[in-house]
Amino acid sequence: MLKKIKNYGLILIFGLALGLGLITTPARAVLQLDITKGVTKPMAMAILPLVGSNGPEADAAAIISEVIVSDLTNCGLFRAIDKNAFIQSAKELGTNPRFADWQAIGAEALVAGKVLLVGNRLTVEFRLWDVLGKQVIEGQVINGSQESARRIGHKISDFIYSRITGDRGYFDSQIVFVRESGPFNKRIKQIAIMDQDGANPKVLSDPRVLTLTPRFSINNRVITYMSYYNNRPRVYIFDLQTGEQTAVGDFPGMTFAPRFSPTGNQVIMSLATDGHSDIYSLDLKSREVRRIPRNSSGAIDTSPSYAPDGARIVFNSDRGGTQQLYTMNSDGSNVRRISFGQGIYATPVWSPRGDLIAFTKIHAGRFHIGVMRPDGSGERLLTDAFLDEGPSWSPNGRVLVFFRQTPSDNSDRAATSKLMSVDITGTVVREYKLPFDASDPAWSPLLP
């Protein structure tokens, strides 16, 4: 059974503080990154530690500063300049940087700010400067509780990322996944959740019940997953705020591989009966169940994923003899095969931008995470490993999280399973340093 947890989301208040001089002006081209073509040289950024005037303020400032540096450097687009090279301190800087000093150490962008704590409420002010353009290009004041310091850091990172790239950030989000423990021949698998950077992991489900394939709804409040509760494999929905858990229908066979529709009003999943599987959708309000498409070939159709507009679905099927990727309209019509490379394809998932489909590919004994356009063109493999599987998109469609399994060896070292991420250029690969094995991740939308 999944456990009830406290509401993990925090409401933050944002405002453009004109009265404090935080005036946003158009960015010069020098401080813009075109991330559609990949970035070979990260932008040099001086990120000054935020200033707090007393102990609690300084503690919050340190947490927020650490989060900003981690977010921006881990995405691969930015390089944080060593603090020992700074000529001007944060207190000296105020609102008037000596731009020549920052140009001298190669900084292209400059971030600084301060923290005020009144009671349990934080007020965080930050600015982003274009060093070469000698102007402030972003300024915000963010309010939140003292406990929300990490989230405030993620929010600031999102502002900076968006201002420089012109795209949405993705840092203020979460990842739900399967926490694994125990021997590989008797694995314990529980649903868990963490911040997108790997912080604050929390286990949600009972270790006595095998739970798999967790997926977020668009509203971040509920997840759907497969569970073997009472030794019966069924799809469930779990409300993260109330702890309520309900089975998605009562079907005669095994239901698995669930995902929400883009509106969150439906769950699409696979139902296995008599040796083959079909794709079904369930309307969560009317409880109406619909099979799509009507597969009469006895093939295995599974792993469905909606396009962001809900008009089409991608899935994998062996109807052509080998496991390949197909798309169809949401009513099951116009089924088209889109994968034609060597090997087999699995676990497709449509990008929230609608421009790409990510997938797992198995060829010549190796596993890959790849992407292709919805018509099947432009296939690119981003990773190559013993076992990479289960991609899931960041909220802005620029990064994929997946899991990587390593084999056991002759020295009796056990196999491991860990979470990884890769950007859509395939150049920035990152491992999540978790104190346990993990698999089957799914990225949330941005938190409210």
Residue 3: what pLDDT? 53
pLDDT at 250 over 90: no
Distance CA 104, CA 176 (A): 43
pLDDT band at 40 (very low <50, low <70, confident <90, very high): low
Residue 413: what pLDDT? 56
Q: Are strands 43-47 and 78-80 parallel, antiparallel or unpaired?
A: parallel
Q: pLDDT tens across 271-308, in order?
A: 887 777 889 898 988 888 888 876 667 788 999 999 99
Q: How far is CA 424 from CA 35, 191, 361, 421, in A?
A: 10, 27, 16, 10
pLDDT at 101 over 60: yes
Q: What are the residues whose beta carbons fall under 8 Å from the beta carbon of 290, sequence distance 6 or more?
A: 280, 281, 282, 283
Q: Give exposure, 103-128, as e/b (b: 16+ Cβ within 10 Å).
A: eeeebbbbbbbbbbbeeeebbbbbbb
Report the pLDDT averaged over residues 96-104. Answer: 94
Residue 12: what pLDDT? 40
Distance CA 263, CA 416 (A): 36
pLDDT at 14 over 60: no
55: left (phi over 0), alpha (psi -120 to 50) or beta: alpha
Report the pLDDT averaged over residues 34-59. Answer: 84
Residue 39: what pLDDT? 54
pLDDT at 339 over 50: yes
Q: What is the DSSP string of 93-109?
A: HTT---HHHHHHTT-SE
8 Å CB contact between 378 and 338 = no
Kind plus residue range of the DSSP H or E element containing 366:
strand 366-372
pLDDT at 347 over 70: yes
Helix/strand/coil for 209: coil
Residue 409: what pLDDT? 67
8 Å CB contact between 430 and 404 = no
> For the ranges 172-181, 205-214, 419-428, which has the lowest average pLDDT?
205-214
Calculate what percentage of the chain has a pLDDT beyond 70.
89
Residue 243: what pLDDT? 85
pLDDT at 102 over 90: yes
Dihedral of CA 97/98/100/103: which sign? negative
Q: What are the residues whose beta carbons fall under 8 Å from the beta carbon of 411, sequence distance 6 or more?
A: none
Distance CA 93, CA 375 (A): 52
For the entire predicted model, the pTM comes to 0.90
> DSSP character for 149?
H
Distance CA 39, CA 426 (A): 11
Residue 247: what pLDDT? 87
Q: Nearest Cα to 377, choosing from 404, 339, 415, 408?
A: 339
CATH number of the structural domain 174-443: 2.120.10.30
Report the pLDDT averaged over residues 254-281. Answer: 87
Q: pLDDT tens across 197-243, in order?
A: 999 999 998 898 899 999 999 988 999 998 888 777 888 999 998 88
37 class by beta-carbon count within 10 Å (0-12 exposed, 13-18 middle, 19+ buried): exposed
> For the ranges 219-223, 308-312, 359-363, 408-412, which has the lowest average pLDDT?
408-412
Q: What are the residues whose beta carbons fall under 8 Å from the beta carbon of 136, sequence distance 6 or more?
A: 22, 23, 24, 25, 95, 127, 128, 129, 130
pLDDT at 186 over 90: no
8 Å CB contact between 79 and 73 = yes
Residue 56: what pLDDT? 94
Distance CA 102, CA 434 (A): 36
Residue 89: what pLDDT? 87
Report the pLDDT averaged over residues 123-133. Answer: 96
Residue 225: what pLDDT? 92
pLDDT at 25 over 60: no
Helix/strand/coil for 48: coil
pLDDT band at 24 (very low <50, low <70, confident <90, very high): very low
CATH 3.40.50.10070 fits 13-165, yes or no: yes
Place of tokens 């400032």: 61
Calculate what percentage of the chain has a pLDDT beyond 90.
69
Distance CA 312, CA 333 (A): 9
Place of tokens 């239901």: 255
Report the pLDDT averaged over residues 27-53. Answer: 74
Average pLDDT value for the chain: 88
pLDDT at 67 over 80: yes
Report the pLDDT averaged over residues 49-77. Answer: 95
Residue 103: what pLDDT? 96
Domain range annotation of the chain: 13-165, 174-443
Phi, psi of 58 (to 5 degrees): -65, -40
Residue 9: what pLDDT? 35
Q: What is the DSSP string of 222-265?
A: EEEEEE-GGG--EEEEEETTT--EEES---SSEEEEEEE-TTSS
For 5, how many CA atoms within 13 A lie in the half-sphere containing its CB? 21
Helix/strand/coil for 337: strand
